[in-house]
């Protein structure tokens, strides 16, 4: 028999049990809303896994955007240490999303085919937060905005992100403020276009990496950027392999080429000079 005084909670006399006039944990987190949002359209057992993985990933993406936007603002304000803290959190968050593919990989092709038809044309390709992350990192594709015309409010938010300077734009301007000569065409470039590598930027980063003690904050910032791109590519690779494992080379529900498209985006570079100088340093 287990005696009451052996229960670790019985000694906690101050634990609150009356929440008549107090906010509860569930209320604070709005768990009634979150936990009632897993509506299986097929009724199939494994659709629950599919929904939860994607919902959790979107929550992590929300945090990533929160930290990326804070980092960009901090860099613009020349608060590089603050930016580094935000970017370190981004990388840790990316680790959580990468690991989520291991859970989704427990879904077999036979199981997925049982409810895939219920998705209609809905696809992860349409994730607006994923697009906003790409915009924040400097990959801009105006054509993709057409997907979101159904929701004018969302489209407006996406356009704002699309037209905003990226994290790398902010970092390059930080280099310029530190006294490194950056070509004017880069400083005043059209930020709705994807960034293309530039000799003056490459030269500036090379000087930072050759004098790390003198330019420690810029050096640390650069390494945080590399961490983020590295993690993003790991996420993309795991995404591609998970899709291949579950549906092979079928066309995606949203009309994309599926695995072929996912393989292609692995070649995208966000911070090209930071990777190039590793060869020439």
Annotated binding site: which residue ranges?
50-54, 112, 116, 239, 253
Whole-number Å distance between alpha carbons of 220 and 218? 5
Q: Is 120 left (phi over 0), alpha (psi -120 to 50) or beta?
A: left
Question: Residue 196, exposed/middle/buried by CB under 10 A (0-12, 13-18, 19+)?
Answer: exposed
Q: Which residues belong to the annotated binding site for substrate? A: 50-54, 112, 116, 253
Q: Is 104 helix (H, G, I), strand (E, B) or coil?
A: helix
CB 248 within 8 A of CB 116: no
Site of tokens 């979101």: 148
Whole-number Å distance between alpha carbons of 228 and 172? 16
Question: Which strand (E) or helix (H) includes residue 274?
Answer: helix 272-280
Q: What does the DSSP 8-state code read for residue 250?
A: P
Site of tokens 């981004």: 90
CB 52 within 8 A of CB 38: yes
What is the sign, positive or negative, of the torsion defined by CA atoms of 15, 19, 24, 25?
positive
Q: Which residues belong to the annotated binding site for heme? A: 239
């Amino acid at each position: 028999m287990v005696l009451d005084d052996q229960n670790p909670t019985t000694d906690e006399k101050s634990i609150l049990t009356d929440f008549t006039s107090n906010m509860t944990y569930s209320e604070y987190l709005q768990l009634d809303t979150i936990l009632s949002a897993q509506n299986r359209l097929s009724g199939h057992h494994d659709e629950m896994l599919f929904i939860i993985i994607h919902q959790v990933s979107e929550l992590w993406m929300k945090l990533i955007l929160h930290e990326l936007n804070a980092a960009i603002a901090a860099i613009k304000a020349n608060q590089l240490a603050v930016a580094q803290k935000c970017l370190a959190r981004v990388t840790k968050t990316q680790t959580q999303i990468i690991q989520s593919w291991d859970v989704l990989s427990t879904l077999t092709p036979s199981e997925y085919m049982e409810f895939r038809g219920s998705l209609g044309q809905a696809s992860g390709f349409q994730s607006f937060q994923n697009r906003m992350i790409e915009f924040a990192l400097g990959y801009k594709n105006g054509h993709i905005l057409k997907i979101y015309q159904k929701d004018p409010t969302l489209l407006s938010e996406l356009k704002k992100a699309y037209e905003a300077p990226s994290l790398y734009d902010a970092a390059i301007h930080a280099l310029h403020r530190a006294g490194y000569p950056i070509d004017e065409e880069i400083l005043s470039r059209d930020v709705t276009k994807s960034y293309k590598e530039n000799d003056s930027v490459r030269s500036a980063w090379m000087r930072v990496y050759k004098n790390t003690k003198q330019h420690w904050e810029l050096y640390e910032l650069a390494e945080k950027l590399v961490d983020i791109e590295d993690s993003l590519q790991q996420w993309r690779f795991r995404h591609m392999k998970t899709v291949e494992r579950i549906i092979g080379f079928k066309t995606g529900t949203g009309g994309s080429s599926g695995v072929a498209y996912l393989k292609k985006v692995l070649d995208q570079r966000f911070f090209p000079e930071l990777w190039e100088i590793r060869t020439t340093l």
